[in-house]
Each structure stands twice: as C-alpha cells, then as structure tokens.
Amino acid sequence: MAEMAHLVAARLRGLGASVELCPTSGHPVVYGEIDAGAPRTLVFYNHYDVQPPEPLDEWTAPPFGAEIRDGRIYARGVADNKGNLLTRLQATECWLRGAGSVPCNLRFVFEGEEEIGSPHLEEFTHRYGERLKGAVGVVWESGGKDASGRPAISCGVKGICYVELTARAANQDLHSSQAAIVPNPAWRLVEALHALKDVAADRCLVGGFYDAVRAPTATELALLRENPLEEQRMKANWGIDAFINGLTGLELSTKLLFQPTCTICGITSGYGGPGTKTVLPKVARAKIDCRLVPDQRATDIAAKIRAHLDARGFRDVGMEVLSAENPSQSPVDGALAQAALAAARATYGEDVRLQPRGAGTGPMFLFKEELGLDCVSGMGCGHAGAHVHAPDENVFVEDYFGTVAHVGRLLGGLGCARARRARGRQGGDVRSAPAA
Amino acid sequence: MAEMAHLVAARLRGLGASVELCPTSGHPVVYGEIDAGAPRTLVFYNHYDVQPPEPLDEWTAPPFGAEIRDGRIYARGVADNKGNLLTRLQATECWLRGAGSVPCNLRFVFEGEEEIGSPHLEEFTHRYGERLKGAVGVVWESGGKDASGRPAISCGVKGICYVELTARAANQDLHSSQAAIVPNPAWRLVEALHALKDVAADRCLVGGFYDAVRAPTATELALLRENPLEEQRMKANWGIDAFINGLTGLELSTKLLFQPTCTICGITSGYGGPGTKTVLPKVARAKIDCRLVPDQRATDIAAKIRAHLDARGFRDVGMEVLSAENPSQSPVDGALAQAALAAARATYGEDVRLQPRGAGTGPMFLFKEELGLDCVSGMGCGHAGAHVHAPDENVFVEDYFGTVAHVGRLLGGLGCARARRARGRQGGDVRSAPAA
C-alpha cells in the first residue's frame, strides 16, 4: 500500500501538482493540487487500493500483470479503480502538453481504503475540507458503459453496512460422529441467516430495516423510465435466466437503485476442499453486506441487525461491523452533472444514460453532505463484463482512451464556461478545447 | 498413497507375512497372511489413509512430523489410524520375538480409502472374502480411552451418507451491488439447509429419514446404563456448556449411539478471508454428513434427501453423493467381543467399558453382513482429547504401548483357547501367553 501511495504521488508530481501524503489512522490519502488561476475548481476522487485477487485459479492472466489481449487490459483494479485514476492524470497531462495549462484548478483526492469502506477518509475531509470548498464538485471514481455499451452518468451512491456474523460451539473441530450430541455452529449460523431474510420475497426481516427508505422522486422515476436496464444483455453476460423474482422494467431499475439489499458475500465453516472430511466445525462465519439508500444510516442499520438477532434468540451469534458508510445523493440537474453529461455526449454521441444513482457504494456523503460538494459518477472505463471485484477484471483499451477524452472534455467544458464569461465581458475569441 | 501402501507392505513382509497389494478401482488394499498352523484365525482391519491435515495453521507441530512432546505423539493419523495399524504389527512382532510364533493365524486387511468412505473395499472382500471366512472375527481399526481414561470395547458402527449440495446462480462472481437483482446462491443454500433440519429439535426433516431406525435392545440399553458417558469431562475437554438440547444420562448415550445425525461438515461460498470483500458469489456449497444406524441404508437415505429437496422446491440445488456406507452391528456377547474384553481387563484393569457400538463409521457391514464375521472395535490408542480429524491429532505414548499389549493379549487369549482345547485332549501344560 505504501509503495502504491508513493507511486501515485510521484505521477502527480510529474504533472507539476503540489502533493501531500495526508496521514490517517489507516493508509494515507494522496492529495494533489494544480492551481491554474482559473475561477472554477474541480475535485477528482479516486482510490489506489483494490479488492483481493482471490480466487487466483480463476484468472486467465496474472492479476497484477496488466496483460493486454484481444483489445482488453486484464488486471485487478483496471476497472476499479486504478484505470480510472490514471485517466484523470492522463487527461490532465493532455491539457498540459496540448494547451500548456489546465482550464480549471484541480484537486486530486486519492485514498487507499475505498475497498474496505473508507474508514478513515473522514479524517482527511475534516482536515483538508477547507481546501475543497467552493469547488464546482467532485468527479467520482467509478463508472463505465452498461450492458448495451452506453455510458451512464449518475449522481449518487448507496451506502453500506457490512457485518460478519460468527457462531461458535466446541473449542476445537471434532469428529463429526460427535454431532449427535455436540452443537454445530454451522446449523446455528444457518438459522441466524434464515432469520435475517425472507429469501423467497427477497426482503430483509430486520425490524425497521426499510423505515428510512426514500421513494424515488418524479424526476428520478422519469430517468429510470427513459433509461431502462439492458436486461437481455445483462442476463446473457451473467448467464442467468431471470432477475430476482422475475422482475423487469421499471420495477427492476427501482429495485436495483432505490431498494436496500441484504447479501451474503461469504460463508465459511468446516471443510471446503474436494471430497469429504467428516468434521464437526467449531466455528461458522458469514459476511453480510447491506447496501443502503437515502435516508438509511449505516450505524443505525447495524444496531437494528444486532437487535433483531437478539430478539430472535441469537444473542450467542457474534456480530462485528466491518464497514459502515452512508448513502448520498446529488441533484441530477446540477451544473456538474450536466457538464459531465455534455462531455459524455461530445465523446460518445447522444446515446448516454443519466441515472439518479449507481448501485455501488463510496464515501460521497463526506463530500456532499459534509462539504456541500455535488458529486458526479460514471466517468470511468468499466463495462458490464468488466468482472469488477472478480477474477479476470478487465477494461477495453478503447474505453480507457475514451475515458481520458471524456475527462479532458469535462475540463474543457468547465473552462469554456470561464471563457464564455470572459467573452461576455471582453468579446474575445475562444479557442475550443482540444480533444484530450 | 502408493508410497504409504508400499511402506505398510514392507513392514508386513518384515514380519514374515505373505503380502499382496490387492488392486481396486481406487487405492490398493494391502493384504497380509501369517499362518501359524493354529486352529483359530483373526483378521485385523486397519487403514493407511488419513484425513486432510487442514487447517494447517492450527497445528502446534508439523502434521507429518510425529513430534513427541509431554508424553504425547502429535501427528495426523496417529490416532486414526496409522498408530493403531502399527500396534497390530508390533504386537505380532512381540509374539514372534518372544515366543517364536503367533498363537493364531493372522489376516491383515489394510485399506487406503477408509477416510473417504471405503468406496472400493467391496472389490477386495468379494475377491478375497473366501480367505477370511471361518475366522473368529475382525479386530476393528479404531478405539481408545474415553474422557475418564477408561478403554471402551464396542461391537458396531454407524453408517454414513455424505452428500454435497451445490447452489449456483450467475456464471461469475459479481459486485455485490448487483445482489439487488441477481439471485444469490448462498441465500438459496441457506434455505435448502433450513429445509433439511429442525435445528431447535435437532431433528432431520427429510421424509422417512427415521423409518428404519432400530431401537436399542434391553441388553444394549443395560450396557448404556452401566457405562454412562463421562459428561463433565467431555464438556470440559470440548469447552461446551451443555450437550444438544441439554441432554444427559441415558438419553444422551442413546442419542449418540442409536440415533442418526444430519450434520453440516462444511459450507463455502464467496469470500472467507479477513475483512471485507463485496462480492455476490456465483456458487455455494455445503457438505452434509448423515451418520446412520441399523437398519437404515445409505443409498436409501441419499434418495430420500434428494426427494425431500425436490418436494420442497429445491430441484435447482445439486446433490452429489460423496460417501455411502451402511451401519453394522455384531453381538456384544460374541466370542470375539468377550475375548477382547478379557484382554482389555488383563491390560488395563477391571474398569473397561463395553458398549454396543461406536458413533463412528467404517465398512464393518462388508465383513459382518457379507462374510459373516463378527467385528470388535475399541482396541486402539486414541483418547477423548486425541483431536481425531482435527489439528493437533495426538495419542499418549503410554496408550500406544498399552494398545500393543492389549492386542498381544487378545492373540494370547485366542491361543489359550487352542491350548485349553489341546489340554483337554492331551492333559499337557500350557505356557501362559507372554505379556506382549
């Protein structure tokens, strides 16, 4: 992690940015500033950490080799998020080399703990927040093309409450013949999990779980209607016959973006290798990921899960909160969102989707709710088959350069606004932004 | 496995046995014969395979190092079953060195697939069964002292039906944000498992599961009453407050030995490492071990589990049978059982337990039901804290030599029977059996 932070800092310095490694209780935030004397300031938020590469045997290329094959780059993090981070740096470089300067002031916030829930980013925003205030907004880290190949711009994220449940029994793994008389933590965990969810209805049973869920506005619903999910392609890509409960259309989009989830990300107990091992496990663990929507709060949901387990008689099942982030929503008709949309259309053509929010999570609330900065997401080089968080993560080389261009045009657009204002005052010519 | 088979064969040949490696569709059976011209023949059944050593980081000694520390030998298989296998060879060696010959003819059946359910031992018993018929019986592979330090002799085993359940959804692990709309096989598996068992009652819900369960006879119940489990010590050893549903006394013994089980030996899905990984798993697997009692049949139980899952709507959940063995019961008042008991008392003193059967599994039915040979178990060097099938498997050095003596005395006892018959005919003196 330290090596990666220093590598990112060096790349930033190479652009002439003033760079600080802002220490936190965890990994440092790499913070960079480029002041162009422009009236507008734009913030880039990205992260230099990645998900674990496991399971290693399911990769067709070394996860840290960045192999280019058939027009794609394969590497852990190439879509999420090292690839996108680099597009910001290279778009900046294009401006500097092509025009001699960037059309707006830039602030780079590159953290190292996004994939574990950004537990210490708040330390950065508290200390450095003043340097960001007044910016036009924050270009978020993630994004890319949907299953139909259309770019999608969005203005919000879900939150997350990620907990680990642990059931224990004997102090050691026992021969499974003893299971006739010794409690089995795996069965106990199955019961606790069963108590958390009505699986058939795909509804979380935790008391009060849905209380703070905000319904979509008319504008948001209209966007969902205008931009239906590419259901056939998604199903084909993922090899599934149907979505949960056969949902389609607006119901499906609304569920994806406006409903919280309660997801088993992992269960482990006893023996998981090939063949048989006749063992009575001493422990069973489940990792549970709840994606949250406005106005749910992560710590509140964690407390409700604990209370629900207690009320259902599962006081013996341990629970540890591993990650807690609140959801966040910026307006879809804000200046930054509209500038990002215009830059996307200039880059990719008119067929660009604008959606209220994404289904993923990130610490937007620290910027939006605490610093008052609108956030826009979707300026990334991912795609529907990018295998984000999974083996064979990849992006198309073409999409990578498309993203560089998209980001470059956004800078140009924000700069043109300055130029338009200047022209309004002085009547001078405006040089159009170079194609980055 | 091949190396181990040859090592065992070489040890047998070193005793003067005629040895064959009987090929099967799996690993070979090492078969040895020592003919002493005696009227009685005894069969030893043991196995040279062991359980996987994982989890490796929970061992305090190398699992294949046989480290001796504080009076114990630590090694995978030292209790189950390489230690016991060696005691048979060394007891034989004691007779050969001390008396020049063994007091009864010996047949050694050492298989290499006990830990995976002896799937090919039947090929051996079909081809070599004639060579075993007429023997006084079979000394089984397992056994040792209970939690109070008392040796326990028993005359039967449970069967096993070990299946793996598999739930699948997408063709790849997905970012967990997609869990709002893409089915999660981990939740599906939790539901299927929940449908298999009433966990609170610890009762399998599979239709017909208990139909063939034979109640204990009056003799068997009397033995259970005479020899209660060392409940306090077992609980202390295993660090549990209570047995399942607070059972004690005769209820507990009966449940352990006369009731079948339905046990989760392992669950795996998604991410199980430290911290968080926000993944929607593509697959979820559970290993289920049902220990069976007379007159349940393993293939019948497998069919009933499949039918139950189908009837509950889980046709999509795959099931593979990984192991299937029938239970077996020999009479507790048979000649071999009584001889083993007498040898145990001569070795360890009067405080020896005789119990109808053990809670473990082995292919006794191939010998008892198919070849008509009584089986006796419990002549082993294990103990309640032996960590069989678990990290830090161990036996006491003292118990190891105790078992050599116990086996040696059984041979002597069976030989004395010959001598007694001979004395009855000839009136000659009988040299007492040496302490092996």
> DSSP letter string over A339-382?
HHHHHHHHHH-S--EEES--SSB-SHHHHHHHH---EEB--SSB
> Distance (Å, rounded) from C-alpha A259 to C-alpha A248?
15
In the prediction, which pLDDT does A424 show? Answer: 45
B239 in reach of chain A (CB within 8 A): yes
Tens digit of pLDDT for each residue in B249-293? 999 999 999 999 999 999 999 999 999 889 999 999 999 999 999
Question: Based on the number of CB atoms within 10 Å of its own CB, is A326 exposed (0-12), middle (13-18) or buried (19 or more)?
Answer: buried
List b or e across B72-111, with b for residues whose CB sees 16 or more CB atoms inside 10 angstroms.
Answer: bbbbbbbbbbbbbbbbbbbbbbbbeeebeebbbbbbbbbb
Torsions phi, psi of A132, nearest 5? -100, -25
Question: What's residue B147's pLDDT?
Answer: 75
What are the sequence ranges of the domains in chain B? 2-157+327-426, 159-213+259-325
Do residues A301 and A161 make contact, with C-beta atoms less than 8 angstroms apart? yes
Residue-wise pLDDT tens digits, A31-42: 999 999 999 999
The bridge status of strand B72-74 relative to strand A156-157 is unpaired
Q: Which residue of A has its CA nearest to B193?
A: A190
User: In the predicted model, is pLDDT for residue B92 greater than 90?
Assistant: yes
Residue B389: band (very low, low, confident or very high) from pLDDT cuts 50, 70, 90: confident
Residue B109 near residue B127 (C-beta atoms within 8 A): no
Q: Which of A198, A223, A194, A175 is nearest to A352 (CA)?
A: A223
Q: In the prediction, which pLDDT does A94 show?
A: 97
Q: Is A241 an interface residue toward B (CB < 8 Å)?
A: no
In this model, does residue B317 exceed pLDDT 90? yes
Helix (H) or strand (E) segment spanning residue A321 = strand A318-325
Q: Which residues of B touch A183 (CB under 8 A)?
A: 240, 243-244
Asked if B275's CB is within 8 angstroms of A54's CB, the reply is no
Residue with tokens 């200039």: A346
From A417-426, B204-213, B324-333, the region with the lowest mean pLDDT: A417-426
Tell me if chain B has a CB within 8 Å of the CB of A261.
yes
pLDDT at residue B423 tops 90: no
Are B281 and A264 a contacting pair at CB < 8 A? yes
Contacts of B176 in chain A (CB under 8 A): 261, 263, 265, 289, 291, 389
Low-confidence residues of chain A, pLDDT below 50?
Answer: 418-419, 421-436
Q: How confident is the model over B113-129, as a mean pLDDT?
A: 93
Amino acid at B5: A
In angstroms, rounded to a whole number, what is the distance separating the alpha carbons of residues B274 and B425?
74
- Could you tell me which of B427, B407, B422 has the C-alpha nearest to residue B95? B407
Nearest to B138 by CA among B71, B244, B43: B43
The minimal CB distance from A269 to the residues B267, B360, B390 is found for B267
B421 has pLDDT over 60: no
Record the tokens describing residue B400, joined without a space. 């190891």
Nearest to A182 among B178, B240, B265 (CB): B240
Q: Is the pLDDT of residue B418 over 70?
A: no
What's the CATH number for B2-157+327-426?
3.40.630.10
The mean predicted confidence, pLDDT, of chain B is: 93
So what CATH class is A159-213+259-325?
A: alpha beta
Q: Please, which residues 55-114 of chain A have a Cβ atom closer than 8 Å to chain B?
A: none
Q: What is the pLDDT of residue A116?
A: 84
Q: How far is A148 from chain B, CA to nearest CA, in Å?
A: 17
pLDDT above 60 (res B429): no
Fold of A2-157+329-426: Aminopeptidase (3.40.630)
pTM exceeding 0.80: yes
For residue B224, what are its two tokens? 């259970």
* pLDDT for res A417: 54
Q: What pLDDT, on a 0 to 100 scale, did the predictor assign at position B417? A: 54
**What angle is formed at CA B59 by the lines to CA B53 and CA B65, rounded to 5 degrees?**
75
**Tokens representing residue A280 in the block:** 């009575």
DSSP output for B227-250: S---HHHHHHHHT-SSSGGG--HH
- A280 interface with B at CB cutoff 8 Å: yes
Confidence band (pLDDT; 50, 70, 90) for B230?
Answer: confident
Bridge partners of residue A332, in order along the sequence: none
Cα atoms found within 13 Å of the Cα of residue B165, Cβ hemisphere only: 31
Instruction: Give the pLDDT of residue A402.
Output: 97
Cα end-to-end span (Å), chain B: 30
Any idea of the CA torsion for A206, A212, A215, A219, to the nearest 10 degrees?
A: -140
- Segment B71-85 shows an average pLDDT of 97
Higher-pLDDT residue of B377, B425: B377
Does residue B366 contact residue B400 with C-beta atoms inside 8 Å? no
Q: Using CB atoms and an 8 Å cut-off, which of residues 287-326 of chain A contact chain B? A: 287, 289, 291, 322-323
Q: What ipTM was reported for this prediction? A: 0.83
For residues B11-31, b (16+ Cβ closer than 10 Å) or e, as one string? bbeebebebebbebebbbbbb
Chain A neighbors of B158, CB-CB under 8 A: 177
- How many A-B residue pairs are in contact by the CB < 8 A criterion? 287
Q: Whole-angstrom Cα distance, residue A391 to residue A75? A: 9
Each residue's pLDDT tens digit, A218-271? 999 999 999 888 899 899 999 999 999 999 999 999 999 999 999 999 999 999
Closest CA to B231 of B243, B223, B220, B221: B243
Task: Please name the amino acid found at residue B26.
Answer: G
